[in-house]
Amino acid sequence: MNEKEQKILDTSLVLFVEKGFHGTSTAEIAKTAGVATGTLFHYFKTKEELIDRLYIYTKENILEEVEGDYDNNKALKDNVKSLWLKFVCLGLKEPYKFNFIMTFHCSPYITSFTKGRIEDKFVELLKVYKKGFNDNQIKEMYDELLMDCFWGNILNTIMHFEKNPEKMNNKNIDLSFELFWDGISR
Indicate the residue type of 36: A
Binding-site partner at residue 26 among DNA, a second copy, none, CB < 5 to 8 Å by type: DNA
CB 173 within 8 A of CB 125: no
Q: How far is CA 9 from CA 43, 50, 75, 135, 141, in A?
A: 10, 8, 40, 43, 39
Closest approach, Cβ 30 to a second copy, in A, equals 18
Q: Which of 6, 20, 46, 123 binds DNA (CB under 7 A)?
A: 46
Contact 4, 33 (CB under 8 A): yes
74 binds, among DNA, a second copy, none (CB under 5 to 8 A by kind): none
**CA atoms of 8 and 3, how far apart (whole Å):** 9
Sites for a second copy among residues 82-111 (CB under 8 A)? 107-108
Q: Does residue 37 bind DNA (CB under 7 A)?
A: yes
Q: Which residues of this protein are in contact with a second copy, per CB under 8 A? A: 18-23, 107-108, 139, 141-142, 144-145, 148-149, 152-153, 155-156, 159-160, 163-164, 167, 172, 175-176, 178-185
